[in-house]
Structures are given as C-alpha cells and as structure tokens.
Structure 1
Amino acid sequence: MNGGYDRHHTDIDEARGFTDWWEGFQRTRAGDFLREHTPLVRALASRERGRRAMALLVLAPFLLCVLLAALFRQSWILVLGVALLAALGAAGALVWSWYSGSPQQAADRFLTDEHLLTRREGMQQLSDRALSHAADHAMPGTRAMLDSGDARRRPISPSLAGVLLGDCHRAHVWLSMERPAYVLSPARGGKTNALVIPLIVEAPGAVVATSSRKDILDATFDLRTGGYATPSRRDFDGSSPHSDGERAYVFDPMGIVGSVRRYSDARIRWDPVPACRDTRKARTLASALVSSANFSGEDATWARIGVDITQALLLAAALDGKGLDDVFLWSQDTQGISRARAILERHEQECPEARAWALPLARLSEDDRRTASNKLLTMSSAFSALSLPQVRAWFRPDPLARRFDMRAFLRSRQTVYLLAELRSVNGQADASTAVFNCMFLDDVRDTAREMAAEAEHGKLEPSVSLILDECANISPWPALPQVFTAGSGDGIFACAVFQSRPQAQDVYRKAEAQMWESGQKVVLGGLSDSQTLRDISALVGKREVKSVNHSYRGGFWLGGRLRDGLGTNEQTQRVATLDEQALREIPQWCALLMSAATPAAAVKLIPWWQRGWQGEADEADGTAQAWSDAPQMTVR
C-alpha cells in the first residue's frame, strides 16, 4: 500500500517537474517563437487536437527518415527511423501523461486562444507605451510639469498612470488608473496574491486598503513604508517601479491586528468630528452611521428622523470642540440631546444652520413617550458600533498626538489600512464597526474632490487608490457606485473585489449593473453563477467555425459517363469565443480582462513574489533579498 502511495506522489512530482520546465522553456526566445508564431503550443493544449498533435510530433522524425531512406536508398536510415519511433513513442506517451489534463495545459489553452486579444492589439492598447501616451491627456498636470522642466519631451512613466497586471502573449498588460476596476474572484482564487497586493505596493499615489484580515497588511506594510526597487524590470521609458517609502497608518477599532509591535506606531486616531463644522460632511457622516443599522420597510421613516438628529449632534460636537465620545453619550437619553441643543443655540451667529438643525432635537423633548422612545431606539441602533469603549478610543481626540491630515495624506504616497470584521447578517441588532471605514472613505472622496477642484488642471495627480478587498463582506460603502460611474476624472481610482456578481447585487441592488458597466472587468476562474457566466460569454463575443459535411447520393449518368454522387457542403457557424465552461475553468494565476472597447484579453497574472521587488531597507545594509524568492503565501 505504501509503495503504491509513494509511487503516486513520485508521478505527481515528475509531472510537476516537467510542466515547470515547459513553462520556463516558453519564456525563452525559442519557446516564445513556438508559442507565438507556430500553432504547436495551441494544438498541444487543445482538448480535441492535443493527442493528434503529440502523435504528429512523435511520427515526424520517423516519416522524415522514411523519406530520406527512399530518396538515398539507405536502409540504415530506415532502421534509425524505427529506433527513433520506438524511443520517441515511449517518451511521448510519458510526456503526454504528465501534460494532459495538467494545470499547465489548461493555462496554455487559455493563454494561446487566437480569438482573444492578440499580441499586436495588446501592445497598441494595453501596454506601458499605450498607457503613457493616454496619460498625456489623462494627467495634464504631470504633462505640464514634465514639459516645463526639460526641452526634450519626456514620456510620462506608466507607473504613474497604472499598475502592471500581467502578460498577454508575453507582452505586459497594464491596468489603467483612469477607469475603476471590478474584480470577480471566488474565495481562494488567488486575487490577494496576484491582484490586491501588487495594486497596493505599486500604486503611484496614496492608498486606502480595506480588509477583514491582516494578511494584506503583513505583505505590503514594509514595502509601502520602507520602499522598494525593481532592478530586474524596465518599462519602455527605461524606468522601473520603485518607491522611497512613506508612512503607513492602521485603523483597527476591533483589534484584528492585536498587539503586534510592528504596527504599534502606525495606529491612527481619526477624529471625524471637526470636519462636521461643514454641514455637508455632518450629513454624510450621519447617513453612514444610521445606514449601519440596516433600517428597512416601515423603519425607513425612523431612519430619516435618525439622520436629522445625528447630524445635529455631530454639528454640535464640532462647534463645541467635542468628540465622538460625547456624541455617543448625548445620543443615549433626552438630557444629552438637550445639551447638544443648547450648544447649537449658543452658536447661531457662528453657524447659520445651527438653529434649523436644532429643531429635530427640540421636537424630541415635545414628543409623547412612545414617539420619543422610538427615536431614542433609532439613535441607540445607529450608535451601537460605538458602545464598546475600545472602539470609541480610536476616535477620541488626543491633544498630544499629531492629528491625521487628510489633505497631506492625499498629496503623498502614504497608506491607510482599514481593518474590520465581517459584516453582521443580523441587521440592526449587531451593527458593524466597519461603518467607520465608510465614514473614512467618504472623507477621502470629498477631500480628493475638493483638492481636484482647487488644482490648476482640475485633478488629483497621481490618483489616490481605493483598494476595496472584501468590500461586500465588510460594511459596503454606499458611495461606491457613484465613484465608479464618475470614473477617475477627479483622481480617485477604485478597485472593488467581489466573490460573485450576485454577492455585489445583494449589496448594491440595481446600482451594481452601473458599476459593472463602468469598470475594467478582471475575471478569475471558479465562478459558478450561470447568469454571470452567460453575460461574460456574451461580452467576449463570438467566433466563426467552419464545418465541412460530405454526403453520397448514389451514381448518375452525365455525358455518357457514370458519376458518383459525392457532395461537399461547407457551413459557417458563430459560436461563443469562451463558453460558460471555459470561463469557469480559467486557470489559476490567469484572468480575463475586459477594458473599455478593447477585445477581451487572456492575461497571465504575476503574483507578488514573482515581481522582483527588493526592499530598500535591505539594500541599505547590503542584504537585499528579492521578494521573488519569498515563500508563497496561501492562495486567496
């Protein structure tokens, strides 16, 4: 029994060794020629033609020997051909047993599909050069700055306008920052290692990243703070991705990181109350707090009342220099609400809206007991996430600590990690603290738009990147659909990662369709929702398939001679380029990219450990270690 088990594992190791060699060979010049300029790799990867292609490879030397033997009338050449046939037949059978049905064959079949984006099309539309040319119009401020300092017109580095996604026909394919990205990846599909981590590390500007786990933080923190270089890679302009590193912050009210010393100095105390002197921001923050309670149906009326009361409490706190601690305490009873009302009335001269915003608080003291109780229950639900003292501590103003400056953050290459537990499925009984992530994202969006409006060229450059991993499993950001449909005209790039379209539709309802329509679509394998697969298949398009049918109708006389009735009928059909099965079976570390009007592209993703990053801190002491040598993380 053990001998059979060991032999089975030996066969698996041998097969893996061969497929690794075959993948490496395709990266060589000879392998690239075979892959891109001959049908060999495509034929071997085909389910229908693969076995015949392998048989032809085995037979080719033998047939050549037969031809030479007949031409030169040398019997030894025929003997050599028979020997080659026996040897190559045995070797071919063994190689085919390793290759057939392997992940490498599936990857070759997907990546060499001749009906998807070609190499020439990819270089013209999705390459670093194409991205740089598009940036001349998309980044007017950067273009003007480069032109003012040099008589020779220099190209905008593609690393300022996007992030390398992977390879298509051995040519680099980039994800542009000019359009949001909609990522579909089932659980354990590899999106964290191949998409989320590279997008965070190589983002050209400030980054806000959300997650329910600390694996993303562990993988990217040192590279974002200490900097990195990529000496093994050169883009078309001769540059390579690099960063000197800047500060990173961790916003973790629920203590997901724990007491890890590595992040102790990065903890951020974010106080949203001072910004609420702007009544628009007070309204936005109040809406986010109340929406976390998931009011629906008849309760929606109480939700609207709750927003009016909450925004008044926030404005009162901002005018009087208080924090969320005080807002929470005021919301618990009528006495606290009366104190907030008094503050608003004292600041009528300073804030013209104060009197009108105090009216909902005044009505509360005049309501009957039942109505007042319902309003207080609404407030209690809205502020339930602040019921834990350790959560309120993250928002408590600290006079000794440096206040987080949102504008300075957006002008930098700093990073904020927003960590939160998975959202509750119990409705208002258990509101998630992730609502504060939404509040922070609202502040990022509003401040970025203000800065874009103030900028000479009307845009924040480079864009701030919102990498929203697990955005449906945490607290969904209500403003996300609007950010998607607005594009990146203000300098806000959003990347939303969902496990399926139904998951996104459950959260965003009809607005999900607008997000899908507006974004660059990155689809990984493993999807199982039939409607999603049909929709994607229809977007990819159709291809023509020719078939020849032969028929025999018996002989007939023509011109005094007997003719046979053999007929040939050629038909052309249009079938899906990628059907539902092919989409579901997209191999690991591969993705389908659909960007604007560009044909769908089969992309070989580049996991973070294959990107050649070298930490700057390691280089300084002579111990640089390429991240490509790092052990592989668990696939997510």
Structure 2
Amino acid sequence: MSSLDRKYTAGGGEVALLLTLLFALVGIPAILYVLASAGHALTPRTAPLPTGYWERSLGVVTGDLPWRTTEIVLAATLGLVAAALFVLWGITRHQKAQRNVKHDRAAPRMATVRDVAPFTQKQAKAKAARFGVDTPGVMLGKMVRGGHTLYASWEDTLLHIWGTRTGKTTSQAAPSIIEAPGPVIATSNKRDLSDLTRDIRAADGDVWVFDPQGVAGEKPTWWWNPLTYVTDSERAAEMANNFAAGSRDVGAKGDGHFDSAGKDLLAGLLLAAAVGGEPIERVHYWLTRSTDETPALLLDEHGWTKEADSVASTIHQPEKYRGSVYSTALQMAACLKNEKIAAWVNPLRPDDDRPQFDPQSFVHGKHTLYALSKEGAGTAGPLVTALTVATVTAAEEHAVTQRGGRLATPMLCVLDEAANVCRWMNLPNLYSHYGSRGIVVSTFLQSWSQGVDVWGESGMRKLFSTANVVTYGGNVKEEGYLKMLSELIGKYTYTSVSSSKQKDSGSTSRQDATDDIMSVADLSALPKGRAVMFGSGARAVLLRTIPIDHRPYAEASRASEEAHNRPTVDTVDHEPTAPAAEPVAPEPAGNRWAALVKE
C-alpha cells in the first residue's frame, strides 16, 4: 500500500458505521418529530399532541400518533427533496472527483496558506506595488488545499524541473511571457512558445525572433553582432566558455589541457575581432589558418598586449601542438561555419540596411526576444546563449542606473530547454544576484541529470538552492532526485491498528508510525495538472496548474498560434511588385516583426 493510500483508508469503515448509528438514533426521531408537528400545524388533530419529545417523535411507531394523509404527503415531499439533494451531491462529487486525483490526498499534510503567505496574491501584489508594477508576479498555480493562487514575486528566481508532456509550456512558460509587465527574452528548441505568445506581446512592443536554424521558419530580416558584447578579455573568455559548452554533445569528455588552451585561443580571437571591427565569421576564418598572425597584431595594436602575446605564443608553438589547440577551438566555434547561421550574426554586405538588434535599447521597453535553436549537429546553441547573456547583461547594466539598483519594470528571462540550447555556464553563480536587480530568471529542465550534465553536481545543487521558487511537474524517474524531494516534502505520523483473535480472547494494539507524505513512487507518478512547489522559507505545497486555455487571454493565444502555423505562401506566386522583398530598416523607435517580414 502506498503512502497516499494508507493516509486515507485507515479508519474509513469505523467513521461510516459511527455516522450510520448517529443518524439512526438522532436523525430519524428528529425527522419524525418535525413531520408530526408540521402535520398538526397544517391540519390540527382532534386531540392535542404529546408534549414529550420521544412521545411525539415515536408516536407513529407505537401507534399512539398514527400518520394521516397530511403527514404522508409531507414525508413524500421531504423524501423527494432529499433525493434531489442526494443526486445533486452525487453529481457535484463526481465532477470534483474528475478534477481531483489520487495525489490530492497528500495536500492536507502539506503547507497551509499561512505557510506560503509570501507567495499568496495579496502579499505578491503588495510587493509588486512597491516596485510600481500592477501584475503580482509569475503565477504558479492554485493550492489544492484551499484554492489560493500562488505567485513568484518580481524579485524571485525560478527553477522548474518537469519531464516531457507535463504541460510546462502551456501552464508555466507561455503564460509567464504573456503576463510579464516588461521586456522578455525566451529560449526554446521548438516554435510553440513563440507561436502561443508573440501576437499578444506584439501589441505592446517590438518582437524579435532569432531563428538561425529555421525552427519557426523565420527569415534573417535583422541581425545581431555578438562581438558588441565583447568589450574586454573577461567577456571574451565568458563567450568562449559558453561556446565550448554549447558545441559539444551532452556528457562528452574532452582533453583538459587542450580544452583550456582552445578556450583561451578562442577568447583571444573573439577579442581581436571585436577590437578590430571585424565580423564574427572572421574568427572561424582565423581558426582555419593557424599561422595567420593578424589577430595577434590587432590585439597588440589596440593595447591588449597580454592577450596578443597569448595568441602569438600559440601560433609559434610546434605544428603538432598548435594544430591540436586550433582544432579544439575550431570545434568550439563550429556554429560559425554554418551559412544559414552566418546571415543572423554578420552583415550581408558593407551597406547592409537590415535592422541591427541592440540589447541596450531592447531592455528599455516592453519588447520580446525569442532565441530558438535545435540541439545536435549544426546547433546555434552557443549563439543563443551569447545573445541571452548579452541581453541580460544589458538589463543588469541598466538596473544599476535605476533607483535602488533594480529595473523599474522587471525583466523576465525564460530559459526553456536550458540544458539543450542555452548552456550558460555561469548561471548558478548569478542566480541569487539577478533577483535583486529585477531580472526574473525562470529556468526549465527536463530532469536533474540534465542540469548535472551542464553545470556539474555542485553547480546544479547551487542552482537548486539559490532559486527562490522550485517547482516539480512530474514525469521524472531519477530515484536520487525524487528521494531528495520526498525528504524535503516531509513525513507525517499515523496510527497503525492491528488485531488478533484467539479461541477464547482477542487483542487490539495501536502503534504510532511515520511515512513519507509523498513517496518516490508517488512523485514519479505525479499526474499532468499537478506540481509541487518549494518556496524559500516555506513548506512544500501541492498546486493545481492553470493552463493557458483557462486564462483570460486563451482566445488571443489560440489565434496567435493558428496564425503562425499556417502554411507559408511561396514567394514565386507573388506579383513581382516588390523590390519590397528587400528588408527596409524602420525608424529606430519601431521594429515590429510584422513590419519586418515581407513576403
């Protein structure tokens, strides 16, 4: 018997028997008393009614107060009303049973509304008001116990570990994007997130879709220069580190020495291209020519002498060693050789008039950036990570200039499929810091091991511990992780009753015991529509998630999804009226995706 069964089966028969006896001894005599009194009031008897309670209530049984037509009609009417109420109760119970699941039995043993008070709508709204924001925060769901809606505030960071087909996109990621009061950046490896939300977001700001691998079928009608982020050697090293992490298969092992040397070389070349005003594709060009001293000369010319010496030292190494370092760095920068990707991060020609994405301008408005990529060969993941880091860094720099050092209007960063398309290596170290800047980072993983593959065991534990809100949405089968969650949820105490009978005697013993509120098996089988939330300073709580179809903007979201899932009309069939096929740069204040995509 599982812990969920044991908690609510013990003592059920005894309670039912007790209620039946109580109704027989108290309820039936009371009903008979009322019927006798009401019948006499409607049609007075010739003899007065007995004044005693039992004489009047049991008179029909003893024959001292036989029922007349009046009492029979009243009894029949009362029976019909009771039957109708019973049917209504049965229908309501059936509907409730359809909404409820077995796991809901654990809710009474988990947090009360008082335990999670900081996450209730009232307190989240009060906190948002202090920041000048109308929206309470990121809605997480409704408590199964009590029905109160819970929110993550605009100074919280979130971590969601939900397996596949658990509704994380429709109940968490997409609604949070739609409801965000300020700028949003969202990463994903599928188009559903952008399809569900982009038209709604476009009503209040510009929408940019970075889609170098054609996940959503977007064309490169704008571009972004990754090297605008590389302003010093530290940022160059960070970008190289993220390139290294994003270019390899999960769990792949490399050579520690050559990995380090390759990242150093790549960082040097990125900095050289940045200070020299070169496009990022030049980095790949240099990596295929291991004796080209141009990057070292550019670094030295612009005052980066130590970095120049480092690059020059690698170039002057023996051919075998130099070749190993260059090939390692080349593998890290493999995404730069993809021609489809190149159009998104390089100017097409010297007079390229496509709009250029500027992270500093982006964070000042209610704009939206979707960064899409697929994992595997040819992935644009390193560039998705670089774009995410550049945008969030711009938000952080802008926050420093604001009152209190935080953004006046919070920014939401939804890292969906973070372990696949946005391997941000420094993320665990920054999580606790971003909340205080008004940058709400919401990271989605499919399992604990996914995070370990990217950040290592210690990094994943740091991410888990520093997140203000952690949710688990089910369909994870990792015993170690589920056991940790089970222990965090806690235990409950129950009384175990055992009886033994012998020929002439019997005995009953009672013993207190403890069990997990939700066992590993219970958590593994958590159904869709339920999530367990762990909030800072609060006990675990069971939530009923609210999908996008049950939110006020359901129709608008559905229309957005349908609009972007329609087949694209082939441009060959178009009238040849358009040199309009060439993208035209709009005014700086406006760059809506609808205005940019010209068929």
Q: What TM-score comes out, normalization by structure 1 length?
A: 0.71
State the shift of 1:103 in Å: 4.8
Partner amino acid, structure 1, of 2:301: R
Matching residue of 1:289 = 243
Partner of 1:326: 282
Residue 183 of structure 1 deviates from its aligned partner by 1.0
Shift of 1:184: 1.8
Distance 1:53 1:414 in 2: 59
Which residue of structure 2 lines up, in the alignment, with residue 104 of structure 1?
99
* Matching of residue 360 in structure 1 with residue 319 in structure 2: no
Alpha-carbon spacing, 1:608–1:443, altered in 2? closer, same or farther (3 Å)? same
The 5-angstrom pairing of residues 66-465 of structure 1 reads 68-69=31-32, 71=58, 73=60, 103-106=98-101, 110=104, 113-122=107-116, 124-135=117-128, 142=131, 156-157=132-133, 159=135, 162-168=137-143, 169-226=146-203, 245-258=204-217, 267-294=221-248, 299-334=255-290, 337-347=292-302, 352-353=303-304, 355-397=305-347, 399-422=352-375, 424=376, 430=377, 432-465=379-412
Q: Give the Cα separation in 2 of the matches to 1:582 and 1:80.
A: 48
Residue 544 of structure 2 corresponds to residue 604 of structure 1: yes
Query: Which amino acid letter does the alignment assign opposite residue 110 of structure 1?
Result: D
Q: Which residue pairs with 1:518 in the alignment?
A: 466
Q: Contact (CA 8 Å) 1:421, 1:474: kept in 2 or not?
A: yes
| 1:302 CA drift (Å) | 1.6
Question: Does structure 1 conserve the Cα–Cα contact (< 8 Å) formed by 2:157 and 2:440?
Answer: yes
Whole-angstrom CA distance in 1 between matches of 2:312 and 2:17? 87
1:587 to 527, 531, 534: 527
Q: Distance in 1 between matches of 2:361 and 2:385?
A: 20
Q: CA deviation at 1:588?
A: 2.2
TM-score w.r.t. length of structure 2: 0.75
3-state SS in 2 of match to 1:113: helix
Cα deviation for residue 381 of structure 1 reads 1.0
Structure 1 residue 494 corresponds to structure 2 residue 476? no
1:544-582 deviation digits (Å, cap 9, x = unpaired): 223455678999xxxxxxxxx877654332322222333
Paired residues of 1:612 and 1:628 also in contact (CA < 8 A):
no
Name the structure 1 match of 2:592: none
Answer with 355-364 or 465-474: which moved more: 355-364
**Greater RCO, CA 8 A, separation 6+:** 2
Q: Give the residue type in structure 1 aligned to 2:107.
A: D
Corresponding letter in the other structure for 1:289: F
Q: Residue type matched to 1:196 in 2?
A: A
Instruction: Tell me the secondary structure at the aligned position of residue 246 of structure 1.
Output: coil
Structure 1 contact 252–267 (Cα < 8 Å) conserved: no
For 1:257, the aligned partner's letter is A
- Alpha carbons 2:281, 2:337 under 8 Å: kept: no
Q: What's the offset of the Cα at 1:513?
A: 1.2
Alignment correspondent of 2:516: 576
What secondary structure sits across from 2:177 in the alignment? helix
Gap change, CA 1:444 and 1:50, over 3 Å in 2: farther
1:524-535 equivalences under 5 Å are: 524-535=473-484
Question: Structure 1's 298 and 546: CA in aligned 2 closer, same or farther, altered over 3 A?
Answer: closer
* d(CA) in 1 for partners of 2:478, 2:105: 23
1:589 CA drift (Å) = 1.6
State how far apart, in whole Å, the 2-side matches of 1:82 and 1:171 are: 37
The alpha-carbon distance between structure 1 residues 59 and 258, as it changes in their structure 2 partners (threshold 3 A), is farther
Rounded Cα–Cα distance in structure 2 between residues aligned with 1:249 and 1:58: 66
Identity %: 22
Structure 1: state its 5+ residue gaps. 1-41, 143-155, 227-244, 425-429, 556-564, 615-624
Residue correspondences, number: 516
Deviation at 1:609, TM superposition (A): 1.8
Query: What is the CA-CA distance between 1:630 and the residue it aligns to?
Result: 10
> 1:469 corresponds to which residue?
416
Distance in 1, matches of 2:436 and 2:444, equals 21
Contact 1:249 1:416 in 2 (8 A): yes
Which has the higher Rg, Structure 1 or Structure 2?
2
Query: What RMSD, in angstroms, separates the aligned Cα atoms of the two structures?
Result: 4.1
> What is the alpha-carbon distance in structure 2 between the residues aligned to residue 323 and residue 306 of structure 1?
20
Supply the distance in 1 between the matched residues of 2:530 and 2:389 (Cα, whole angstroms): 33
* CA displacement 1:175-215 (0-9 Å, x = unmatched): 22323211121110111111111111112221111111101
CA displacement 1:240-269 (0-9 Å, x = unmatched):
xxxxx111111111111125xxxx5x9541
The structure-2 alpha-carbon separation of the partners of 1:84 and 1:586, relative to structure 1 and needing over 3 Å to count, comes to: farther
